[in-house]
Structure formats: C-alpha cells, structure tokens
Amino acid sequence: MLLCASQEGKMNPKISYAIDYKGQPADKTKTRGWLSAALILIVEACERFTTMGIACNLVTYAAGTMHLPSATAANIVTNFSGATYMVSLFGGFMADTFLGRYWTISISAMIETLGVALLAISTIVPGLQPPPCNNGSNTCVEANGLQVGVMNIALYIVAVGAGGLKSNVSGFGTDQFDAKDEKERSQMAYFFSRFYFVISLGTLLGVTMEIYIQDYVSRAWGYGICSIVFFVGIMAFLSRTRRYRYKKCMGSPIIQILQVLVASVCKRNLKCPSIDTLYDDSTKDARIHHTDQLRCLDKAAIIDEKESGTNGSVIQNPWKLCSVTKVEEVKMMVRLIPVWASTIFFWTIHAQLLTFSVEQASTMDRSIGNFQIPAGSFNTFYIAGILVSSVFYDRIIITMMKRWKGKHGLIDMQRIAIGIVFSIVAMIVAAIVETRRISVAKSMGGNVTTLPLNFGILIPQFFLVGVGEAFMYNGQLDFFITRAPKGMKSMSTGLFLSTVGLGFFVSSLLVSIVNKVTGTQVGRAWLTSNINYGKLYYFYALLAVLSFINLVFFVHCAIWYTRTKKNDVQIESIVSSSEEEEKHAVQMEGIRTTSAQEDC
C-alpha cells in the first residue's frame, strides 16, 4: 500500500491548492520549496535592516540635524512607526483580495526602496536641511515646512512599503511548502525557525552597523546603503519568479464582516425567529452552532419573503442573507475586541525606547575604551531582553510547567499580563533613572552636551521593556491566532499588528496633550527642546500609572472573555480541536513572526 501511494505521488507531482507563474497547478518537481523560501527571507531581512535602522535613530536626526523640538521629533518617530504597522492591515487586504502575495511583496519592496532613496537624497541636497547650529551663540534654526515635509514624505513612503511586506512575507514563505507532504512539512518548520533568526539578524545589523554608519560616516551613506541592499534583495527575489508557488486570491474576511453588518442593519426591524429557522448552508464539518450573544447580528441570517424562492429554495445574496456560521465567525471576532483594546497601551511604552530613551542616551557618556556607542544602538539592549527572556521561557518555564502541571507553558492571557507588568516596572525604573540624570545635568548648568554619567544606568529600562515584549508579543500572537475563526486567521493577525501601530499613535497623542497642558516654558514644561531642562521623569511616571490602569482593564477584559468562552461550548470545542497544533506552529514561528502560517 505504501509503495502504491509513493508511486501515485511520483505519477502526480501536481499540487491542487497552488499554481505556478502561468496559472497552472504547481509542479513539485519544478517549484522546490526551500530555495524559494530563502529568497523570501532575504527580502524580510532587508525590511528589518532598513526599518529598524531608520526608526531607532530617527529621533536624533529630527532633533539633532533638523533642530526640531524634542516632542515634535518624538511624534515624527512614533507616527512613522505606527503607520508602518497600520499599513500592514491594508497590505494584507490587497494581497487577499486583489494582488496576491507575490505582487504585493514585489510592489511594496520597490516602494520602500524608493522611499529610502528619497530619504538619502534629502540628506544630500543642502536646501532640504537647516544650517548647522551656531556653537558660539548656541542658536539653531529649526527646519522649515518644506524640509520637514520632504522628510515626512520619504518616511511615509518607507512605511507603506514596509507595511505591505510585514503582512505578506511569512505567509508567502509558507506557500512554498506542501503541508500534506511530510518532507516539505519538516522544511516548513525549518523555515519558521530560520525566519526568526533572519529577522533578528536584520534587526541587530540595523541597530548596530546601520546606525553606526549614520552617526559616524554620514546619513546619506547610511540611507543609501539601505536602498542599495533593498535593490539587490528585490533582484534576488524576482529571479525566482518562475519557481515560486502561488495561491489564488480568495477574498478578504473583511468583506464577510461587512456583509454580516450590512445584512443585519438592513433587517434590523425584523423580529428574530426561532434558531431552527435561521439560514445556514455550511457543511457539517465547518458549521458553527448558534450562540445567544450579540443577537442583533443574527438578523443577517433571517430569511424574509423576498429571499424565499419556489419549492423552498433560497435566493442567495451575501449582502442581504448570511449563514449562521458566517454570523458566528463575525461574533468570534467581535469578542476579541475588548482584549485587543487592552493591549494597545503596552506598545505606547515600547515607543519610548525609540524616542525619549534614545534622547537620554545621547546626553550620556557612551564610550567603551575608544569606541562610542551610538545613541540609537541602545535598542540592542532591548533586543537582548527579548532573546534572554525567550530562552528563559522556552528552557525553564515550559520545562517546569510540563514537569509540575503537565502544561505547555503559560496560557496566552497570562503572558500578556506579565508583559504589561514588566512595562510598568520599566517605566518606574526609567523615571528613577531620569531623576538621577536631571540632577547631574542641573549640577552642571543644564547646557551640557555629554554628562559625566555612565550609559549603564539606562540599560535596565531597555532590557525590561524587551522582556515584557517577549511575553506580550508571543501572548498576543497566540491569543489572536487560536481564538479566531479558521478562515480569519490572517485578519486576526493583522488585528494584532494594529495594536502595535495604535500604541505608537497613542504615544504621539499623549505627547501632544502633555505639551499642551504643561506648555513649553523651561522650568515648567515636562518635554522641552533640550531634555536637560525638562521633567521627563514626570512623563515616565504618568506612563507607569496609565499602564497600571491598563493592567486592571486587561484583567477585567480577560475575565469577561473567559466567562464568555465557558458559556460557549460550541466555539470552545471548535477552537480547541486545532489549538495545540496551532500553538506549536506559533512557537516555531517565533515571537517576531508577523503573519500566521494558517494562511496556507
């Protein structure tokens, strides 16, 4: 029997669910998986190298070269980073509905290359930067509207490209493997482990080598190298076009959600009949049984007189009539919203590492012998926190819980809660450190370029946020993948990524509010152009308080969700049937994977 199966596989090397570049069923002998996946990894490495290299050192460029106020520079960074993650939702939608992953990746990579090239040009053209500060009188001319505008245009072009890549790279990588083939399934597992390694390598090179070039060679060379690296990556990616495996656009789950909402609104005046009369055309295996929550959405499954055909048939219009299963899938997504909202603020804390924490570092003694650490490279300590805590969790916590409780680690909501706790501790530590830094600055008159204060006191706040992110990111990814309907895994992952983007935008909003309330007057303002004259420690303390309130909010949301799940036996059984398999996949994908492999 095994011989027959083997011979049948050799006789029929076609893959039914994938196509080649001509639109024909993909041939396994002509579309080998691993080399194609490796070239896709190169594009993702270029994206991480470029995006992190720009974001982690952008505040020093905006404040130091463009001479913008500290709060304005911080908002430029957070808006850029937030846009990058929010665009990933649009990138996923375009790939699912219109372009497919290959074309979305290709176009996005070209867009990001163009954006970085424009950013490099803006650092060369004299008229696009303000003149250097006059050291004699200590006066600086702030960048004008044109100069800031060109910089922002370049940054948002980069954000559009990066967002399109983030939402599709890992998914397109999994498309290159046949999950039903044992050999290719093992290669897929290897791909995910290498995916984590490659993006970590790209990030480390971005926050070390790329930032070093920006600070000690020139910004033009730093951004120029990014554009060259990206161009080479695109050429490598396109060279494999004839060997990739593709999937047809199946439509976005956003359309399904809109259909249920539109149908329920159109029938809002109808009275809900008994459950047995609601419309459901799903197969027995795919069917999700009706639940009593969010009954207003059930009206989308009511069959009215206009939709009743002859002989008991039903006139199907997805914008007017939806099956019970589709309605229940939308309900499952709606139930995720409270937990989604309660995880946004963590990323507001994370945003400080790219902004004010980097500004703190720029005022300290960062020398190790004859080498001086670039201020933007302090995010290396944050990455170290992620790596150390990830290893500790995998090797210690999971092993202990398996031995003592027979469980595979902490559940997703526990990990999210731990991440929030670490963010609170990090902001408390940051406030204490800033108090010490300000006292030294005041003792020297404030207007000092480098304080006699060793950079080591800043490491804890970077490291603690990194530890918190390891728990938060992994917990969020696990939660949004395993608790979403099977057909909406991609959208659920995009929903998770939107919390990162919104967290950055909340940071911008908070900075603007604090600036408006405290003003910009030296001695009174919290966030001044020169942070040596501000009260940044108050801002960090405010973030710690708000993060504690957010923790309480999250606990209430988690309790509500848990009770909802216990009352919903059908959803529990559906989700848990594949939960262990999906969690195992999430572990392999690593805490930095930005798309769920369930897309395959």
Asked whether residue 543 falls in the same domain as residue 483, the answer is yes
User: End of a domain among 251, 283, 309?
Assistant: 251
- CA–CA dist 432, 452 (Å, integer): 17
Q: Is residue 8 part of a domain?
A: no
Asked whether residue 200 falls in the same domain as residue 233, the answer is yes
Asked whether residue 185 falls in the same domain as residue 276, the answer is no
User: Residue 446: left (phi > 0), alpha (psi -120 to 50), or beta?
Assistant: left
pLDDT at 88 over 80: yes
pLDDT at 227 over 70: yes
Q: Taking the alpha carbons of 487, 571, 401, 383 in that order, is the dihedral positive or negative?
A: positive
Residue bearing tokens 């924490």: 357
Pick from 120-129, 159-168, 246-255: least confident: 246-255
Give the domain range for residue 404.
336-600
Grade residue 400 by pLDDT with cuts at 50, 70 and 90.
confident
pLDDT at 480 over 90: no
User: End of a domain among 220, 251, 282?
Assistant: 251
The pLDDT tens digits of the residues spanning 33-44 come to 677 888 888 998
Domain count, the chain: 3
Cβ-Cβ contacts under 8 Å for 305 (sequence gap 6 or more): none
How long a stretch of residues is the chain? 600
| pLDDT recorded at residue 376 | 87
Residue bearing tokens 């539109």: 262
The CATH number of residue 503's host domain is 1.20.1250.20
User: Mean pLDDT, to the nearest integer, of 441-457?
Assistant: 83
pLDDT at 13 over 80: no
Q: Is residue 5 part of a domain?
A: no
User: Mean pLDDT, to the nearest integer, of 515-534?
Assistant: 82
| pLDDT recorded at residue 496 | 84
Q: Is residue 496 part of a domain?
A: yes
Q: What is the pTM of this model?
A: 0.82
Count of other CB atoms within 10 angstroms of residue 581: 11
Q: How far is CA 580 from the centre of its chain?
A: 23
- CA–CA dist 54, 81 (Å, integer): 10
Asked whether residue 131 falls in the same domain as residue 194, the answer is yes
Backbone angles phi, psi at 132, to 5 degrees: -60, 160
The pLDDT tens digits of the residues spanning 16-33 come to 677 877 888 877 777 666
pLDDT at 594 over 70: no
User: Mean pLDDT, to the nearest integer, of 487-499?
Assistant: 79
Grade residue 593 by pLDDT with cuts at 50, 70 and 90.
very low
| pLDDT recorded at residue 33 | 65
Asked whether residue 429 falls in the same domain as residue 575, the answer is yes
More confident residue, 480 or 102: 102
Structure tokens that stand for 168 in this block = 């599709």
Q: Is residue 432 part of a domain?
A: yes
pLDDT at 493 over 50: yes
Q: Which of 392, 469, 393, 456 is nearest to 426 (CA)?
A: 469
Asked whether residue 458 falls in the same domain as residue 587, the answer is yes
User: Mean pLDDT, to the nearest integer, of 209-228?
Assistant: 93
Q: Which of 380, 537, 434 is nearest to 56 (CA)?
A: 380
Grade residue 573 by pLDDT with cuts at 50, 70 and 90.
very low
Grade residue 245 by pLDDT with cuts at 50, 70 and 90.
confident
- CA–CA dist 64, 142 (Å, integer): 10
Mean pLDDT is highest, among 50-64, 88-102, 242-256, 419-433, for 419-433
Backbone angles phi, psi at 322, to 5 degrees: -125, 150
| pLDDT recorded at residue 137 | 52
Asked whether residue 315 falls in the same domain as residue 368, the answer is no
Contact 596, 492 (CB under 8 A): yes
The pLDDT tens digits of the residues spanning 258-267 come to 999 998 898 8
Asked whether residue 559 falls in the same domain as residue 580, the answer is yes
User: End of a domain among 333, 357, 384?
Assistant: 333
Pick from 171-180, 225-234, 457-466, 553-562: least confident: 171-180
Assign 3-class secondary structure to 214-259: HHHCCHHHHHHHHHHHHHHHHHHHHCCHHHCCECCCCCCHHHHHHH
- Kindly state the DSSP code that residue 294 receives in the 8-state scheme: S
The pLDDT tens digits of the residues spanning 284-324 come to 767 777 777 788 888 888 888 777 766 666 777 888 888 88
Grade residue 598 by pLDDT with cuts at 50, 70 and 90.
very low
Q: Is residue 90 part of a domain?
A: yes
Host H or E run for residue 474: helix 459-482
Q: Is residue 2 part of a domain?
A: no
Q: How far is CA 107 from the centre of its chain?
A: 20
Count of other CB atoms within 10 angstroms of residue 354: 24
Query: What is the percentage of the chain residues whose pLDDT exceeds 90?
Result: 36
More confident residue, 481 or 539: 539
Asked whether residue 229 falls in the same domain as residue 264, the answer is no
Grade residue 585 by pLDDT with cuts at 50, 70 and 90.
very low
Asked whether residue 315 falls in the same domain as residue 204, the answer is no
Q: 3-class DSSP state for residue 371?
A: strand
pLDDT at 448 over 80: no
Asked whether residue 90 falls in the same domain as residue 100, the answer is yes
Asked whether residue 303 falls in the same domain as residue 424, the answer is no
pLDDT at 341 over 90: yes
Q: Is residue 574 part of a domain?
A: yes
Contact 565, 571 (CB under 8 A): yes
- CA–CA dist 596, 589 (Å, integer): 8
